[in-house]
Structure 1
Amino acid sequence: MKQRKIPMRKCVVSNEMFPKKELVRIVRTPDQEVVIDPTGKQNGRGAYVSLGPEIVQKAWDKHLLDRHLNVKVSDDFYAELKEYVAHQKARKELFADES
């Protein structure tokens, strides 16, 4: 059976390559709004961040998403992103144990 190619993306904080499903996509929409894109298909300029609260904190401290998305990202968004990433990481670990 032919093995499928796994799409890889680079985390903008750690500059490491990961499978796309192990990252969260942040999007600057055409309206200059910054949102979390759980589907990975939303229109706009995207940046990927790995699923680690410490990685999000590093991005927040250095305002890395501001540079990658060319827009001012609010502290409220970084807090929301950190909460989302912590939830996704816990969910991933929970379901990994059931397999």
Structure 2
Amino acid sequence: MLGGEALDSSRNTATLRLKDGAVDVKDGPYAETKEVLAGFNVLEARDLNHAIALMSTHPGLKAGPFEIRAADEGVSRMFEKHQAANDERK
């Protein structure tokens, strides 16, 4: 595994999509069975509203929705400690 990041609860999620040429923001995840995860972006933002503002201008929004979810920093720190312990054993 090259890396990873735990995600915060889906209760703290916003989904962006273009609707009639404007960015439409919905609270929570929004998935249809035809949608698939095509990739992910990691960005630095002050909070969810800042992340929405940043991603509202992303050209990929024309191709489909973006779900914005914060990283779970507690779980991420746990993974980092585990990785560091593994690196020390090598």
TM range (shorter): 0.3 to 0.5
> Please, what TM-score do these two structures have when normalized by structure 1?
0.34
> Please, what TM-score do these two structures have when normalized by structure 2?
0.36
Indicate the structure whose relative CO is greater, using CA pairs within 8 Å and at least 6 residues apart: 2
**Larger strand percent:** 1
